[in-house]
Amino acid sequence: MKRAVFAAMVVILASPLVPLYLAWRRVLATRFLAGRRDHVLLTVIMISYLVMIGSLAFRDVVGADYSLRRYVTIYANLILMVVIAVWTMLRRGSLGALMPLVSALVAMVWAYALIVSSAV
């Protein structure tokens, strides 16, 4: 049982990696064709994901357990990623469906963090 839970956690946390790589590769390969907006949004998504990964190594990145700072950080990142996912889905920029996918996967990671923080 513990092995299955650990495997599920790894899959959830690693799920944005390949789409993030593909999105950055497309933005950097077509940096003159891709809009500045896509570059900024992808940077925001990447920073949000790195904060989440950083919180695994350093617990105080998002805040101490059960602290207000922890929940505000998690909710703020979750809401931001959902807003970016919906906005880019409606807008369809130069990255097509890749940007909404990346932001939705990072939102899923933050939702997982919220569930774990609330349950434990």
Predicted local confidence at residue 36, as pLDDT: 79
Which residues does 22 contact at the CB level (< 8 Å), separation at least 6?
Answer: 98
Q: Give the residue carrying structure tokens 């920073």.
A: 47
Helix (H, G, I), strand (E, B) or coil at 12: helix
Predicted local confidence at residue 33, as pLDDT: 59
Predicted local confidence at residue 56, as pLDDT: 86
The per-residue DSSP string of 67-114 comes to -HHHHHHHHHHHHHHHHHHHHHHHH--TTTTHHHHHHHHHHHHHHHHH
| pTM (two decimals) | 0.89
| pLDDT by position in tens, the chain (length 120) | 688 878 888 898 999 999 999 998 988 887 655 567 888 899 999 999 999 999 988 888 888 888 899 999 999 999 999 999 999 999 877 777 899 999 999 999 999 999 988 876
Q: Hey, where are the domains in the chain?
A: 2-119
Predicted local confidence at residue 15, as pLDDT: 93
Give CA separation, 120 vs 23, 39, 84, 114, in Å: 34, 36, 29, 10
